[in-house]
Structure 1
Amino acid sequence: MNLERAYSMYNFEEYDDPVLYDRENDSIIDDIVFLKKWAKRTRGKIIDLACGTGRATIPLARNGHQMIGVDVHKGMLEEARRKSTNLTLPIDFVLQDCTALNLNVKSSFIFSVGNSFQHFLTNEAQDGLIRSVSRHLEVGGLFIFDTRFPKEEELLQPSGEEFWRSYIDRATSQQVDVYTKSEYDALSQIQHYTTIRRLLDKHKEIINEKTTSIRLRYVFPKEMERLLSPYGLEIVNIYSDWEANPLTKSSDQMVYLCRKI
């Protein structure tokens, strides 16, 4: 079994319902706006790694860019293909391991969003991902990705159940309350998350509950420099969000803009 598949299987249950994933995430567009600006400056095929259901792939293809979307989760890719089937867009969705990418193409723009970088849980998996990016990126080409900033408040969350957010399920028009539990392993730098989704009726009584687990690896900024450098990736800038604000010690996120040298 390949590296990414072996370690991503820990996280598959969080993505086993692609339709639910889209319901909870399709309102996120700030990263897409950022990517569109950089895509205008590039030519040729653009590669979206860990593309999922095509949340970012499809909007860029709508803008006329030739896209390759890659993911290791078959169900997510099937949903991406279903969503784009009747749109006649220039997209090729590929089921591959991002740590051993083999697309037979070079790109001037590769990206991975949605904090997908955190799904690569081991040093070997991270190296495989960056090596794959470097092999498929033209000299001078850009690699953009994001990951959560490992500040103290992020890592040392209470181990008990905490309320996260509520939303209205479009399919049922019912409220869903989302709770999380987390435990950080400092030795592996992996956060173990449990997500509990509770569907409520009109009387705010729980009528259904779904629990999923996910593991996320955290990387510190200086550590990231050492990870990228051996593969010829120069950090051009690190932002705290998709509006290109500077990174600070209180940031929640790191957005990396890298260039192959």
Structure 2
Amino acid sequence: MSNNLEEYNDPISYDIENDAYMGELKMLEEWAVKQGGPVLDLACGTGRITIPLAQKGHNMIGIDIHAGMLELAKKKADQANIQIEWLEQDCTMLQLDKKSPLIYMVGNSFQHFHTNAQQNLVLKSIHNLLEQEGIFIFGTRFPNAEELLQPTTEEYWKTYTDTLSNKIVNAYTISNYDPLEQIQHYTTIRKFMDDNHVAEERKTNISLRYTYPKEMERLLIENGLDILHAYGNWEGSPLIKESNEMIYICRKI
């Protein structure tokens, strides 16, 4: 996983592009109230969800493999005067001196574990840290045909404002899916605009594993996790063939 982090090497720009999204927060807050803490946020990044949950009074631990993302997370928590324990660890080899009643992984981070062995390792690691009857919640992109068969040419993705440069950014992606490995290779091209001209262009690469629903069922059960719910989004809608996401709520067996 550590060689697939190019997308995260500029934490401030990453925050500008992604920090406003809070789609997972409501569901996770509901479960945090039910389960209590400490709550573990795996692959927490810059604390996008960790910090809001801590602000709601939950005992939070944020874990990530990327030192730069954690550094910004710590800075943001300090500025908000929020106490959070931050740990730099590989999620396949988690080591804590306590167990948790609730662990979650958002931002489709599960897709960073490319091989069957890596998927097993991360789930075993989570299982070991969960209290008996503990809950693990995570989301991943649904491997529907539209998602996997994206054009291999440059396609428009979205537009946002980069508040550091005060420039409009037009983002494009190039996708290439490997069906043998079930991995989508993405190149993201961000074009920083000056009036109608491209003032700067930045490219990043990332590779993401896609797991099918039946495959996921077997994977979770074999690693000691019973599926309580499988949703098609973070609002709790049913998982259907038109879904773009798969959200799993699992209980430690």
Aligned counterpart for 2:247 among listed residues 230, 238, 255: 255
How many Å separate the matches in 2 of 1:44 and 1:34?
A: 15
Q: Shift in Å at residue 38 of structure 1?
A: 1.1
- Give yes or no for the alignment of 1:8 onto 2:17: no
Any unmatched runs of 5+ in structure 1? 1-6
Asked if structure 2 preserves the Cα contact closer than 8 Å seen for 1:64 and 1:90, the reply is no
1:1-261 alignment, distance < 5 Å: 7-9=1-3, 11-202=4-195, 204-261=196-253
Q: Could you tell me how far apart the structure 2 residues matched to 1:247 and 1:127 are?
A: 23
Amino acid at match of 1:259: R
- Within 2, Cα distance between the matches of 1:43 and 1:198? 44
Aligned-residue CA RMSD in angstroms?
0.9
Greater mean alpha carbon deviation, residues 35-44 or residues 174-183: 35-44
**What is the rounded CA distance, in whole Å, between the counterparts of 1:242 and 1:44 in structure 2?**
21
The residue identity in structure 2 corresponding to 1:249 is: K
Aligned to 2:131, the other structure's residue is in SS state strand
Name 1:3's counterpart in structure 2: none
- Once residues 186 and 58 of structure 1 are traced to their aligned partners in structure 2, the CA distance between those partners, rounded to angstroms, is 37
- Residue 200 of structure 1 and its aligned partner are, at CA, apart by 0.4
Residues matched between the structures, number: 253
- Contact 1:182–1:194 (8 Å) recurs in 2: yes
Note if contact 1:197-1:209 (Cα within 8 Å) is conserved in structure 2: yes
Distance 1:73 1:119 in 2: 13
Q: Which runs of 5+ in 2 are unaligned?
A: none
8 Å CA contact retained: 1:8, 1:120: no
State the TM-score, normalizing by the size of structure 1: 0.95
Q: Work out the CA distance in 2 between the residues paired with 1:161 and 1:88.
A: 43
Q: Give % identity.
A: 52
Residue identity opposite 1:109 in structure 2: L
Code of the aligned partner of 1:38: W
Verify the 8 A CA contact 2:182 2:209 in the aligned structure 1.
Answer: yes
| 1:163-221 CA distance string (max 9 Å, x none) | 1111111223221000000100011100000000000012x100000000000000000
Please report how far the alpha carbon of residue 226 of structure 1 lies from its aligned counterpart in structure 2 after TM superposition: 1.2
Q: What is the identity, as a one-letter code, of the residue corresponding to 1:215?
A: S
Deviations 1:19-77 (A, max 9, x none): 01110111111101221111111222000000000101101111111111100011111
Q: Post-superposition shift, 1:90?
A: 3.0
Q: For the residues of structure 1 that align with 2:181 and 2:33, how far apart are their CA atoms? A: 39
After TM superposition, the score normalised by the length of structure 2 is 0.98
> Alpha-carbon deviations, 1:77-109, whole Å to 9, x = none?
111111112333231000011001011211100
For residue 244 of structure 1, what is the amino acid of its counterpart?
G
Structure 1's consecutive aligned runs of 4 or more residues displaced over 6 angstroms after TM superposition are: none
**Structure 1 letter corresponding to 2:117:** E
CA distance in 2, matches of 1:219, 1:187: 12
Asked if structure 2 preserves the Cα contact closer than 8 Å seen for 1:8 and 1:119, the reply is no
